[in-house]
Structure 1
């Protein structure tokens, strides 16, 4: 295999994990929300809108990051992404109390695009360096993103308590500036033709062809992956948003709620590492099937669960959600090559965006209980889509 390089790929993985760990500070937004409400004198639903916009724009940022990597260097792409991230938090910090609407632009827009750009760079770099261990590399990197909120929540809470709204937003901006410098100096593409003759072993088949973006629209698996993204979202997002309030009628005490949130967070981290790592051994198709089966089981149990069983359901859904999310980069790189994997992955994330919006609308239209039943059906559809993916034997016969 053509893998001669002076760069230690494990160092690249370690640096990427650090970048991802710190990037996830934004997922402590629920801690900032009361301070946003107080600073701008808005209610709770309004204060949550900037984060909702951020999630939507994040998908756009992913696409921008993928395209930028095609047109320019990794380092320049990271510079642009990190500058937008820092500006998003800094400008939010200095917003007057009568300009809440501007937070949609600063936090939701600028930070959302910047975060998406940087995320896409790091996620797409890992399969390039670990052609033979895509699941392991992607799993470790994304596990850090899941762990971030757990690590930084006490730190952010202390900042907010001691310094308030503006200074805390500035502090996070400085953290992103520091990791931006670190990430820009350490992240880079592997040499040309790095491990270019690797075609996979056992349950994994890696294509020799490096697909252009325009070509993937004619490949069935591209649309299947988009559908899988859609199916992987509703069950977890529905429950995570209302875990405490929905559990009030299911015997969930305050202590159980606190423990449940922490346990579910760790389960998501575990899923992001375990499922993609195992997929290196059993194949991406089998790993996806396991994740969707766990989701279907969790939703089925949720309909009759109370107390500790209700908490277990949340943990199961968190584990399967984290696992499926971390499997998309490896399978996209397997099927379409690593050259344009960032852009291709961002396009499949359209399914993620549609699934997120669909889950929220479904809950409002049909009610929470019915929405969970629908989410369970969607997870079963996901299993059906997984079955349409080619087996390793068939993939080899097709020469993908």
Structure 2
């Protein structure tokens, strides 16, 4: 590889990390929630609904992002995504107090689709530039997304304290315009035939065939990866939602709660970078197995843990969740090629959507303790699914 090409791809990676960092401002939504309650006169549960809808629609946006990449230039797809992201926040700012329901459409719908489109473009772009370092490139971009809430929370808090609901939403919409211009200018796909002579060695084997989604639908590994997405979600999402309240009966003090949440955020970011980077060396199969073993162990310990051990369980689940999330783009690119990985990856996110919604509903129906037991069983199922994946060095069509 020439030095120019090497330099170009690292520049794209850096720019992609910046885009993901800014894109993650939406994960500070909990800071906006009290102001939404005050502006619209709704309770806490209602104020969280736009974000819940956003998470669900985000998966749909991912699919649109993958499909659009097959029909038009990458930059045009980014423009569509960023325009929808801007519109979602700006129109939410304009809503009168009696139209809270419209926020389901503006924030949940428009922003959810736009965010999913941009996410899919950037995540699926990195394996194309780094066929030899898929795990590192994907993990680094998702690590920046993971740390976004920590970086931007102080800024968002200042905006809300100084300007309130409407102006703060407008400020975020302007930030998305700025990063949209930056991302559209800097993000680009590699030239046709880029690193086409690269042959994967060691723990990971990459296919030479570039599958379409319709072709991938006939390959069993597509459903295995979708199942892994489902299995990776419940344990972490369940505990992250009730870490403080559930810990009240497990000796969790206010100081421990603050420390626990802060370290958990770092663990998730670390997992998003460390585990997929390791997967470039030991293989995706081994990386997923490690992650699910950590998840299963964390849930098992959670049943008896108190105090510091309870915090450690949260950190374990955060690490494994982050690691799993960052391994899906590399394994999809390995198995199905990089050309249509955006569309194929969006299909596997069905597992993410079902796991997210299912975990939340399960906790409401059976209670948190039983839900955690179920999540542990799901993690064990993930281990079983991992061992059905092709082994090290096995040739793929």
Between the two proteins, the alignment pairs up a number of residues equal to 397
Q: Alpha-carbon deviations, 1:127-161, whole Å to 9, x = none?
A: 00000000000000000000000000111011100
Contact persistence 1:3–1:194 (CA under 8 A): no
Aligned pair 1:377/2:359, yes or no?
Answer: no
Quick check: 7-16 or 319-328, which moved more? 7-16
Q: TM-score, normalised by structure 2?
A: 0.98
C-alpha change, 1:258 and 1:198, in structure 2 (3 Å) is same
Separation of aligned partners in 2, 1:31 and 1:105: 20
Structure 2 CA distance for aligned equivalents of residues 302 and 7 of structure 1: 46
Separation in 2, partners of 1:298, 1:21:
28
Partner residue in 1 for 2:339: 339
Q: CA deviation at 1:81?
A: 0.3
Q: Indicate yes or no: 2:97 matched with 1:97.
A: yes
Tell me how far apart the structure 1 counterparts of residues 377 and 321 of structure 2 sit (CA, whole Å): 16
Contact persistence 1:61–1:115 (CA under 8 A): yes
Distance 1:364 1:6, change over 3 A: closer
Q: How does 1:1-400 map to 2 (within 5 A)?
A: 5=5, 8-393=8-393, 395-396=394-395, 399-400=396-397
Task: Note the C-alpha offset of 1:4.
Answer: 7.7
- How far, CA to CA, are the matches of 1:233 and 1:341 in structure 2? 21
Aligned equivalents of 2:182 and 2:120: distance in 1? 17
Q: Is the 8 A contact 1:198 1:206 kept in 2?
A: no
Cα pair 1:197 1:208 within 8 Å, conserved: no
Deviations 1:286-334 (A, max 9, x none): 0000000000010011001111111110011000000000000000000
Deviations 1:328-377 (A, max 9, x none): 00000000000100000000000000001110111112111011001000
Aligned-pair CA distance for 1:46: 0.2
Give the secondary-structure state (helix, strand or coil) at the position aligned to 2:387.
helix
- Supply the distance in 1 between the matched residues of 2:391 and 2:2 (Cα, whole angstroms): 27
Secondary structure at the aligned position of 1:317 is classed as helix
Question: C-alpha distance in 2, partners of 1:102/1:94?
Answer: 10
Unaligned segments of structure 1, at least 5 residues = none
After TM superposition, where is structure 1 displaced by more than 2 Å over at least 4 residues in a row? 1-7
Residue deviations 1:5-61 (CA, integer Å, cap 9, x gap): 496100000000000000000000000000000000000000000000000000000
Q: CA deviation at 1:392?
A: 2.1
Shift of 1:176: 0.5
Mind listing any 5+ residue stretches in structure 2 that lack a counterpart?
none
* Aligned counterparts of 1:302 and 1:314: Cα–Cα separation in 2: 8
SS in 2 for 1:188: coil
CA contact (8 A) 1:132 1:200 kept: yes
For residues 367 and 2 of structure 1, what CA distance do their matches in structure 2 show?
A: 57
Alignment partners' CA distance in 2, 1:7 and 1:257: 43
Greater CA drift, 384-393 or 274-283:
384-393
Give the alignment's TM-score, normalised by structure 1: 0.98
Q: Aligned-pair RMSD on alpha carbons?
A: 1.2
| Alpha-carbon distance in structure 2 between the residues aligned to 1:312 and 1:167 | 39
Q: Deviations over 1:148-201 (max 9, x none)?
A: 000001110111001000000001001110000000000000000111122301
Give the distance between the partners of 2:198 and 2:248, measured in 1 at CA: 53
